[in-house]
Structure 1
Amino acid sequence: MRAALPRLAALGTPLLFGATTAALLLLVALPLAFILLQALFPQLANGSLAAPLSHLAGVFGDPALFALTGNTLRLGACVVLASAAVGIPLGMLRGLFKLPFKALWDLLFLVPFMIPPYIAALGWITLLQPNGYLEQLAGPRLSSFLFSFGGVVFVMTLNVFPVVYFAVSRGVASSGSRLADVGRVCGASPWRAFLRITLPLATPGIAASLLLVFAMVIEEYGTPAALAANAGFFVLVTGIERRFSDWPIDLPGAATLSVVLVLLAMLVFWLQRRLLGQQVFETQTGKPTEVAPRQLGAWQWPVAAVFLLVALVATAAPLFAIVATALMRTLSGGLRPANLSLANFAEILGGDDSALQALATSAGLGLATALATGVLGLLVAYCVVKTRLRGRRALDLLSVAPNCLPGIVVGVGLILAWNQPLWPATPYNTWAILLLAYCCLLLPYPVRYAGAAFAQIGDNMEAAARVHGADLRRTLLRVLLPLVFPSLLAAMMMVFAVASRELVATLLLAPTGVKTTSLYIWRQFEQGSVGKGMAMSVVTILMSTGLMLAVTLWRQRAERAGAA
């Protein structure tokens, strides 16, 4: 019977596998292929395949390339370690124990992830710069730390550690501490049960989230450009942007550096698979189990104090700087009551039609991206984890590749791919090109999260559904989807948060007349209206937070109704 299960699953999945592969080829492989072609044929943009590889000697002969690559690896590794140091302990505490105000901590830790990185960097600049808000209120001047490698790691860690926190907390909460209790009964100490049982069970989710953190760090442009450049610290993504922005524009060089970024991310992905090996643990068998969190006892308030400290640094500090700037009449006026007003918010919400249009467009694109990537990510994760079909590893690699590319490179790939006369119809110069870009960039979130959840579901549940007459569609919708839905929903919420504030690809691809919140904010900063830009940032954060809070409350109400 066990030997027949993979064959049974494989019989119902070729069509699903083929459709999923076709979607990934269209969404991901096509723009990546044109980037690779541009890296091989420097005259591709001019419609010629002449002089292939003729530019490589100049690109790889540049000594700055090795410095950029080393800086990228160093920055990614440091942020991953710092995010693990913050996110894993907090996630374990949140998932295993009955924590005071647990819903509040989830909301507060989600806010830093929803703040656009370039906005967060500007918020930290206004907070810590000479004569910044911190100096005006308390006296310390920390600008030398902020504009340094350590400052960049600090700011980027606060932006991305929620990825680790939510992956770990949701993963351990689904299995609870019942298996660790079995270890305790067999004589293990609490720490031994944690290290030998609980932590290994959480390994797939931890590894998946840390891979996403690394990919997010090496492709992030806003924070390194705002902070690291002032410290003389440049990475591959800033090198790519300079080749796009400085005249003469070097498309072949930028595409070649993008290929280097992809290779770095693929190397990390391979190392992850090698380190995890065959460590797949099935913790859900279909039997009802008790997953109630433990009591913290006397430790509950010290632990709550730690959560409060992290929330103050990661959420309250940058949010205070953003809101304070949004409320100021003039930046030079400082933090004085006479200099504070709601004029910027009134102009955005009452007298600026373009601002309301930008909010509606971003909300619609964010929801569409979350739904599209959620469905496709679920199918990709199923094909990779729950089937034995040939090509599933290539499918997995293809699904994680977009998160390793800067948004500007994906934008160029989409332009090169769809701005061609050979297509009878094209999404280029329409809102659909933005949807394609967002889906391409953000697909790894639901794939990684759903894949980690699928890895913990035993094959016997799917086999039982098949034996009782359920086809593949019914098995996915009625058996597997409810089990992976909490992890998938968390990923889709993050997709919405990122899609609704994505900047770089939007700047490159947005057609005339289409406005998003990120474009509006960027234009305000270009025009010197920093207050209006920050006011729009506050409105965007509130919109994302409100939607996610509504989804969370709905899930909690549904869980309580199911328990009753």
Structure 2
Amino acid sequence: MKQTNRKANLPLLLLAVVLIFLIVCPVGMIFAKAVMQNGRLDFSPAVQTLLNPENAHMIGNSLLLGVLVVLLSTLIAAPLAYLFSRTKFARYRVFDILFMIPFMTPPYIASMGWILFMQKKGLLQQLIPAAAGCEKIFFTLGGLVLVMSLHVFPFMLTMLKNAMLNIPSSLEEAGAVFGAGFSARMRKIFLPLLSGNYAIGALLVFVKTLSEYGTPSTLGKRIGFEVFTTEIHRHATVAPIDFGSSATLSSVLVGICLCMWMLQNYITTRKSYNLVSGKGARRVEQSMGKGATVAAWAYIVLVLLIAVGVPYFSVISTSLINLRGYGLAPGNFTIAHYVELFTENEKGLSALKNSVFLAVTSATICAVLGTLLVLAVRKSHSKLRKVVEAIGLLPEMLPGIVLVIGIMLFWNQIYNILPLYNTMGIMVLAYVVLFLPYTVQYVTSSFTQISDSLMAAGQVFGGSPVYILRRITLPLIRQGIATGWMMTFIIAFRELVTASLIAPPNTLVVSTFIVREFEQGSVSVGMAMAVLCVLFSTTALLILNTVIDHRKVH
């Protein structure tokens, strides 16, 4: 019996070794690098890094930015969540897709779009000359908070909307019966019931803001506002390179993120309410007068205009401008920049090929490794399975730049044994580590919907484990595998922080090509690539949704 259990747990043990090597060792290397000097435990360099006035100021900047983004994203998302859950606007399902566009847009592309729109003599001032001087207002901390909030508010919107949909209308009606007005019902009934879900959304937005690199590296640097990610990146890439300081700041960032996760668990445990029961919940649409309806439509259009319209107008129009000096003048538009990407610009074509290769390879490896992980965890009864599953999901809890720094340190340390560092292989490995949780989550979601009776029926009729896997399990979870593959492909195709840190010399991908062209003044060519990047990602997402809908119908 024990020997049978050992054989059953062997795949789990092998996966544990692989995941420890890929994920745990790089993370451990970060903490080791922060406190180890010449093979000895030495906290003084880490303390000096933290006491450095510039670093202390940077940490304060990061925390302030996180708080402000949470507040502004809440102000943007809360009215929309109420409209799309408690009023007649809930019927318009198209807005569920439209309001996800900012979240699916790479942050650095949206940030560049805003810079082009708001800069001196930019697109806004070309359209409205009276707007001259507005760049002084935008290129501040307020502008940075606005751009980052416009990227993450869809996440907050989804969290709040789903929470509001689960609040029965009968609770508000009961308050009204006892004489409570609208504001009193909001304050005493509605908002307290939202507090647990809001805490989850707010803390996740806070962590995501601290972990974001794209917008701070483009807009933040322009206004001189340094945060964790830009400082970590600078220490790891700009001479004199200081991996010790980079590791120390990464450790602090991990510590803050973990504290936020624990705070979230504490709040949600104390502020959770069972609102969904077997009795069902009746929702009544809140009536709206003509004035309120007009105001609601105006707010929806305004948010879509600034969140989607401005950045996409900037990126697309700039990609079509022939001579930047003439701007939006009639006759100054061309598709030559797109043609150049596929003909004359060898680096652009090479960047596209590299991104496709990295996205396909990493998505495929993630699909295989993630599926094996889920199957091994679900079939095992060992206590080790929880540990293995936690390790597989660990990259989701950690900032991407921290994991990449850990991968750099670890694989550089073992270069003499496995010379993978400074090759395309290290980029594939980093992408796999970063995006493995997508496959694990989607496959787990599909797997939990499979009844154990199906497996038992296969065994009763003499099916071998391989046969059951091939004819029952895999067909039932293939949608989860395909979804995980596609999501990994979309995100890996446009990934910036990994490529900017560990790409081999003279190797460009789509993201680094766009940033380089933007910084070097070839803005139109860079924006042409940005348009192709967005079209590529959007097309892939539409194909995914079409396949899923087709599966549901059949």
For the aligned pair, the TM-score class normalised by the smaller chain equals 0.7 to 0.9
Residue of structure 1 equivalent to 2:26: 31
Aligned partners of 1:200 and 1:22: how far apart in 2?
43
Contact kept, 8 Å, 2:443 with 2:477, in 1: the verdict is no
> Aligned pair 1:525/2:518, yes or no?
yes
Q: Write the letter of the residue equivalent to 1:53.
A: F
Judged with a 3 Å threshold, the aligned counterparts in structure 2 of structure 1 residues 25 and 554 are, in CA distance, closer, same or farther, namely: same
In the alignment, structure 1 segments of 5+ residues that lack a partner are 1-9, 43-47
The correspondence for 1:225, drawn from 217, 223, 245, is 217
Contact kept, 8 Å, 1:215 with 1:404, in 2: the verdict is no
How high is the sequence identity, in percent, across the aligned residues?
Answer: 29
Contact kept, 8 Å, 2:232 with 2:250, in 1: the verdict is yes
Q: Write the letter of the residue equivalent to 1:309.
A: L
Query: 1:489-545 CA distances to partner (integer Å, 9 max, x unpaired)?
Result: 887665444322222321232235754211322332344311101110011111111
Judged with a 3 Å threshold, the aligned counterparts in structure 2 of structure 1 residues 230 and 537 are, in CA distance, closer, same or farther, namely: closer
Aligned partners of 1:477 and 1:200: how far apart in 2?
45
The correspondence for 1:411, drawn from 401, 404, 428, is 404
Residue of structure 2 equivalent to 1:312: 305
Question: What is the correspondence of 1:82-481 to structure 2 with a 5 Å cutoff?
Answer: 82-87=72-77, 90=80, 99=90, 102-103=93-94, 105-138=95-128, 139-140=130-131, 141-166=133-158, 180=168, 210-277=202-269, 279=272, 306-370=299-363, 373=366, 389=383, 392=386, 396=390, 399-401=393-395, 404-405=398-399, 407=401, 409-420=402-413, 425-443=418-436
In the alignment, structure 2 segments of 5+ residues that lack a partner are none
Query: 1:249-292 CA distances to partner (integer Å, 9 max, x unpaired)?
Result: 2211111111000000000011111112285979799xxx9999
The correspondence for 2:35, drawn from 19, 37, 40, is 40
Alignment: residue pair count: 530
Aligned partners of 1:270 and 1:114: how far apart in 2?
27
Q: How far 1:50 moved relative to its partner? A: 5.1
Contact kept, 8 Å, 1:445 with 1:495, in 2: the verdict is yes
Aligned partners of 2:115 and 2:125: how far apart in 1?
12
- Using the TM superposition, name which of 140-149 and 506-515 deviates more: 506-515
Aligned partners of 1:284 and 1:165: how far apart in 2?
24
Aligned partners of 2:256 and 2:441: how far apart in 1?
18
Query: 1:213-240 CA distances to partner (integer Å, 9 max, x unpaired)?
Result: 3333112233223333444432222222
Q: How far 1:318 moved relative to its partner? A: 0.8
Give the secondary-structure state (helix, strand or coil) at the position aligned to 2:313.
helix
Judged with a 3 Å threshold, the aligned counterparts in structure 2 of structure 1 residues 198 and 224 are, in CA distance, closer, same or farther, namely: closer
Judged with a 3 Å threshold, the aligned counterparts in structure 2 of structure 1 residues 35 and 24 are, in CA distance, closer, same or farther, namely: same
Q: Write the letter of the residue equivalent to 1:438.
A: Y
Give the secondary-structure state (helix, strand or coil) at the position aligned to 1:341.
coil
TM-score (norm. length: structure 2):
0.77
Give the secondary-structure state (helix, strand or coil) at the position aligned to 1:277.
helix
Q: Write the letter of the residue equivalent to 1:416.
A: L
TM-score (norm. length: structure 1):
0.76
Give the secondary-structure state (helix, strand or coil) at the position aligned to 2:42.
coil
Contact kept, 8 Å, 2:171 with 2:189, in 1: the verdict is no
Aligned partners of 1:113 and 1:18: how far apart in 2?
37
The correspondence for 1:558, drawn from 515, 535, 551, is 551
Aligned partners of 1:477 and 1:235: how far apart in 2?
51
Q: How far 1:210 moved relative to its partner? A: 4.6
Judged with a 3 Å threshold, the aligned counterparts in structure 2 of structure 1 residues 119 and 403 are, in CA distance, closer, same or farther, namely: farther
* Greater C-alpha Rg: 2
Judged with a 3 Å threshold, the aligned counterparts in structure 2 of structure 1 residues 525 and 448 are, in CA distance, closer, same or farther, namely: same
Residue of structure 1 equivalent to 2:58: 68
Aligned partners of 1:274 and 1:481: how far apart in 2?
39
Q: Write the letter of the residue equivalent to 2:260.
A: V
